[in-house]
Amino acid sequence: MLSCFRLQVNAQWVSSACSHTSIKNTLQKIVSVYHKQCDRIIPRYMFDRNYVVEIPNRSDWIGNNVDLKDDIVCYTDGSRMESRKLTGAGVFDETHNKHHMFQLGKQATVYQAEVYAILLSNSVNRSITICSDSQAALMTCQQPRQHQDWSGKP
pLDDT for the residue numbered 150? 44
pLDDT at site 151: 38
> How far is residue 42's CA from residue 11's CA, in Å, rounded to a whole number?
13
DSSP state for residue 142 in the 8-state scheme:
H
Q: Where are the domains of the chain?
A: 2-35, 44-146
Residue 129 is predicted with a pLDDT of 86
Please provide the DSSP assignment of 43-103 as one string: -EE----S-------HHHHHTT-----SSEEEEEEEEEETTTTEEEEEEEETTTTEEEEEE
| CATH dotted code for 44-146 | 3.30.420.10
The model's pTM is 0.62
**Structure confidence at residue 152 (pLDDT):** 40
Residues of the chain with pLDDT under 70: 1-2, 4-6, 8-11, 13, 16-43, 49-50, 123-124, 146-154
